[in-house]
Structure 1
Amino acid sequence: MSRTTKDEEVPSQHHTEDVESQTMKPDLEAPKQGADRVAQMIGAQHIEVTEEDNKRLRRKTDKHILSILIWVYFLQILDKSVLGYGAVWGMREDTNLSGNEYSMVSSMAPIAQLVWLPFSSWLMVKIPHRIFMAGLVFGWGTAQACMAACTNYSGLLATRFLLGLFEAACLPLFSVMTSQWYRRAEQPMRVACWYGTNGLSTMFAAALSYGLGQINGSLASWRILFLFVGIMTVVTAPVVYWVIDNDIPSARFLTEHEKLQTIERLRANQTGTGSRDFKWSQAFEALIEPKTWLFIGMAICLNVTANVTNTFGPIIVGGFGFDKGVTSLLNIPFGAVQLIVIFPASYLAHRYRIKSAFLIALMLPVLAGAIMLYQLGRDNIPPLLAAYYMLAFLFAGNPLIVSWLISNIAGTTKKSVIMSLFNIGVSAGNIIGPLMFSSKDAPYYKPGLTKTMGVTGALIGVIILQLVNLMFLNKLQERRRVKNGKPAKIRDLSMEHRYVASPQDDENEGQLGQNAFNDLTDSKNDEFVYVY
């Protein structure tokens, strides 16, 4: 165990001055009613946290929290994406699917999410995370395994509905947990770590489907594939329950003093660390803010195109004239491009503390790839594959949008509601995406590609609108601070690459940081700074 004494040497004189100044300040006021659980734990204390402490606590959190998020999200994407490979290896023929029935089977999971997500925002607040996550994993793993037994259209619809129902809260839950355990500057790379498994799962699913497709037995290859990934998910559920922790106060991997230090290092976020009270006022606030609906618009636009590649990607590549085995293998580079792009994009957003500009930049190759697929003939294979792989740049956009969203929302209930609404947007995009493509348009799919180009252009427009909106909100916050006797502009310590003690105030500023754990929403906390 690393030492946690308060006598450790502080790594910089600047930081030493911050710590000394805070110890000379009077204690912050006691936590208010309805505050986070950690507010009751830390009370009015100021806990010393050095940069060495910050790194050590971050490593421990990565080991015990992030590692589980990465593995479970990998399984969630894997279970969702094997449907496309099942289609390549005979599922449509064995279950007698015709017309748009395959599209409807693909859309059934997001339809279930649309039905369940409003309720899941309440569950995320009320149910401890280790119980909630383990239950979700067991449920969707069982549904995936049961798909292997389906013999007709109705069976596929039913099992895909159950899979979507249990997967519904996955993205909102992971996003909320990331915001509750990490500083805002750390969130883009952490979201990238678990969301980046999109690429890994695509590569693994392609290789796995190819390998299992070589089995010539009484059980069809696609059934073996569904059974394998489903069972792998089911056995993960008890591991999740055993390893994950609900929140900082109950964290078994932290000592009592480390819990206080972990709370302190998150103070500058001004977003809190979680409350078990579902506050209807916060839910209403989430519904009426333009910021909410702009993020939902991004979710819809991005996932329309993303689901096209997940569901129809293998089929489109098969339309280039390859056999089943080669079609599966040619999707491995698509997953590799996702993985390669996600981490540099998230790092640059972290390094330069801006997400909107990099989001727009990522959409340009996607637009170019769709145009190339539209224009090129189907006999020119290398440029077609290059164009298809360019669509993978899209997947670097989702972690940036998610980290942008959770960095700009405060209040436990508000964040849970907005993340659920965001995932409703994801589900809507997943429903719309497959419906834009019809088998009668094969192998060119020009009507669907035209719509894909339009949706990508709309996404760029929504990103720009949200940027302008957040700039306006920061101006409003500055006016509120001046009205309350605080400086108009305050330094956002949560976005610093090195830990700086909070609050950072002087005799002219008054006390800052006293709202951090009161479970206030961003619009009710004048110290909240919106990030771009």
Structure 2
Amino acid sequence: MQPGKDSPNTIHLESTPDQHPQKDPADDARHMRTDGPDGITAAPNDGPFALRDKAAQFLKQADHPVVVTPADNARVLRRIDFRILPIMLFVYCLQSLDKTTLSYASVFGIINDTHLVGEQFSWLGSIVYLAQLVFQPLIAYSLVRFPVGKFSATMVFCWGAVLCGMSAAHDFGGLLAARFLLGAFEASVAPTFIAIVQMWYRRKEQTTRNASWYSMLGVVNMLGSLLTYGLGHIQSSLHPYQIIFLFCGAVTVAFSAVMFIFMPDSPMEAKFLSKEDKFIAVERLRMNQMGIASGVWKWDHVLDCMLDPKTWLWFSLMFVISIPSGGISTFGPLIISSFGFDNFTTILFNIPFGAVQMIATLGGAWLADRIKMKSPVLLLLCLPPIAGCSILLSVGRKPSDRAVLLAGYYLISFYPGISPVIYSWSGQNTAGDTKRKVTTAMLFIGASAGNVIGPLLFKLNEKPRYDRGLRSNLALFVVLAVLIVVGMGVIWMLNRRQAAKRRALGKSEQIQDLSMVGRKEAAEDGDDSNHLDETVGDKAFDDVTDLKNEDFIYVY
């Protein structure tokens, strides 16, 4: 292990002929790999599993050592951000807007116009998530087997077309059918985006990228409220909510064509990158120990996922947070209206809700990235919703209480910052292509089930206090905090087991997780060679699960 001469911050890890007696030296040149915050080059494993991931096959095409310098890493990351992130941000903004059109429609009379009674409006909120729950296994399989970019663009087109058609629904049955189809096609969006982030970014970079697209919920609650306010004033033979459905659906259909053309299916197939930059884009992900894409569905990964206690932890976390999420997203405008505001004032007062959402989402991701841990940030984000629910339950509904009630409602709106941190916590602790997709499906099965239940905890006849729904939400945020502490214990035990495996194999018991270290930290630590073993990363592109890779380090 020697400091490299390419740059002051480049380190080369070289295997001796005795370690790989069957290797052709020319083959070593084709398979040199890099990683580390400031660039590390090493020969990869040539074992029987080396070609399990498409990334390993792609790197075979390199006819020279692939060295990722700090400058190369920053340049390629910039190009990836400029191409991938804008598409994801806009699509998730559309998805969030399309999904929340029902809550805006409730303010503009859809309940009376379509003769909804009893819990029918609540079921219109729940049916979207019920459809997402049903279709998650199919989404997981599709994400492994089909090109990610084109698959996602097709789903975007389908849900936009359904939303346009929803404007023709005039009763509960028609609305229920349209909302079910909307949920079926929208079921792919968040799992696809999690897969895209895992495919393109290092573990240290994933939290802020997941938070970026998820923060569009806050943008929608701000701009969507203003958009709805404007559309609601259009004088037409159509009802205001029909205009909202048509406008949002048409924009979604139009953008699906943009996504189909410009969203690449993987780093190996990215037309916006040169051949050399593709090698860098792939190689920089080696120390994630997660692979990129295999295209092969593996049932042993499915079994590994089902037997992994972490899977059920992620499922439980998403289920618990999604119950209040589903209830508040459906009944939020009605809760504000219950404070004594008219329709248009209600829409305008929903704008700060979106601003707080965005601040909580991006702020939580920034803090998690800063401290390199997710669990303490999740615990911190549980506190404001607990306080907000307590305020709404304890304060009366007199006109003089409106300011305090709004403050409580805005405190609850910190909850959207929780979900993207859970996505990243799960994604950064799972390896193997099929296992990652199945684990993500389990997250969204939990999320969908929670979102089905959430709106049903609120009843229109409980206006203005909605005590049952708010009490349930308060209890669930407390349960969420308990589960996060349990998760910290699970991660601690798994890291101890991984260290024991490395010791038994004669490897270094303590290794540095380079996928979570930035260039600044590396420079402060000095020579990275003090922390690295030359075999670390050998299984990175073997498409093995985290439990089968002793070099995998779990993140708190």
Alignment TM class, shorter chain as reference: over 0.9
Which residue is 1:305 aligned to? 324
Matched letter for residue 131 of structure 1: K
| 1:203-242 deviations in Å (ceiling 9; x for gaps) | 1221111111112321110100111101110111111010
Residue 542 (structure 2) aligned to one of 518, 522, 529: 518
* Alignment partner, residue 467 of structure 1: 488
Q: For the Cα contact (< 8 Å) 2:41–2:67, is it kept in 1? A: no
Query: 1:185-219 CA distances to partner (integer Å, 9 max, x unpaired)?
Result: 00111111101101001112211111111123211
Aligned partner of 1:39 among 9, 34, 56: 56
Show structure 1 runs of 4+ deviating over 6 A. 20-26
CA deviation after TM superposition for structure 1 residue 106, in Å: 0.8
The number of equivalent residue pairs is: 521
Match of 2:237 in 1: 218
Counterpart for residue 3 of structure 1: none
1:32 positional shift:
3.8
One-letter amino acid matched to 2:58: M
Asked if residue 320 in structure 1 is aligned to residue 313 in structure 2, the reply is no
* Larger mean Cα displacement after TM superposition, 206-215 or 381-390: 206-215
Q: What TM-score does the superposition give when structure 2 sets the normalisation length?
A: 0.90
The Cα shift of 1:505 comes to 5.6
- With 150-159 and 446-455 compared, the bigger mean Cα shift is at 446-455
Give the AA of the match of 2:46: A
Secondary structure of 1:19's counterpart equals: strand
* Contact 1:70–1:194 (8 Å) recurs in 2: yes
Equivalent residue, structure 1, for 2:297: 278
CA distance in 1, matches of 2:367, 2:418: 13
Deviation at 1:510, TM superposition (A): 4.7
Q: Post-superposition shift, 1:26?
A: 7.1
Alpha-carbon shift at residue 169 of structure 1 (Å): 1.6
Shift of 1:529: 0.2
Report whether the alignment pairs 1:101 with 2:120.
yes
Where does the alignment leave 5 or more consecutive residues of structure 1 unmatched? Answer: 1-6
Quote how far apart the aligned CAs of 1:439 are: 1.3
**Structure 2: gaps (5+ residues):** 16-31, 33-39
- Matches of 1:265 and 1:27, distance apart in 2: 14
Question: 1:40–1:508: structure 2 CA closer, same or farther, 3 Å change rule?
Answer: closer
Work out whether residues 88 and 193 of structure 2, in 8 Å CA contact, stay in contact via their aligned partners in 1. Answer: yes
Tell me the percent identity.
38
The reply on whether 1:156 has 2:172 as its aligned counterpart is: no
Displacement, 1:56? 0.6
Q: How far apart are the structure 1 equivalents of 2:141 and 2:307?
A: 18
Provide the C-alpha distance between the structure 2 equivalents of 1:187 and 1:20, rounded to a whole number of angstroms. Answer: 26
The one of 29, 43, 46 equivalent to 1:27 is 43
Residue 301 of structure 1, CA deviation: 1.1
Cα deviation for residue 428 of structure 1 reads 0.8
One-letter amino acid of the structure 1 residue matched with residue 517 of structure 2: E
Determine whether 1:428 maps to 2:449.
Answer: yes
SS in structure 2 opposite 1:28?
Answer: coil
CA contact (8 A) 1:89 1:221 kept: yes
Equivalent residues in 2 for 1:320-359 (5 A)? 320-359=339-378
For the residues of structure 2 that align with 1:55 and 1:411, how far apart are their CA atoms? 26
Aligned equivalent of 1:114, options 133, 148, 153: 133
Tell me how far 1:30 sits from its aligned partner.
Answer: 2.4
How far is 1:262 from its partner? 1.2
Equivalent residue, structure 1, for 2:23: none
Distance 1:508 1:73 in 2: 39
Q: Is the 8 A contact 2:289 2:539 kept in 1?
A: yes
1:183 to 176, 181, 202: 202
Tell me how far 1:427 sits from its aligned partner. Answer: 0.6
Q: Which has the higher mean CA deviation after the structures are superposed, 112-121 or 505-514?
A: 505-514
8 Å Cα contact 1:302-1:456 kept in structure 2? yes
Deviation at 1:506, TM superposition (A): 7.0
Question: What is the match of residue 478 of structure 1?
Answer: 499
What is the root-mean-square deviation in Å for CA atoms of aligned residues? 2.1
2:256 is aligned to 237
Alignment of 1:75-86 (within 5 A): 75-86=94-105
The 1:8/1:307 distance shift into structure 2, 3 A limit, reads farther
The separation in 1 between residues aligned to 2:531 and 2:95, in whole angstroms, is 51
On the 8 A contact 1:504/1:512 being kept in 2, the answer is no
Following the alignment from structure 1 to structure 2, what is the Cα–Cα distance between the partners of residues 235 and 507? 50
Separation in 1, partners of 2:228, 2:87: 25
How far, CA to CA, are the matches of 2:209 and 2:5 in structure 1?
27
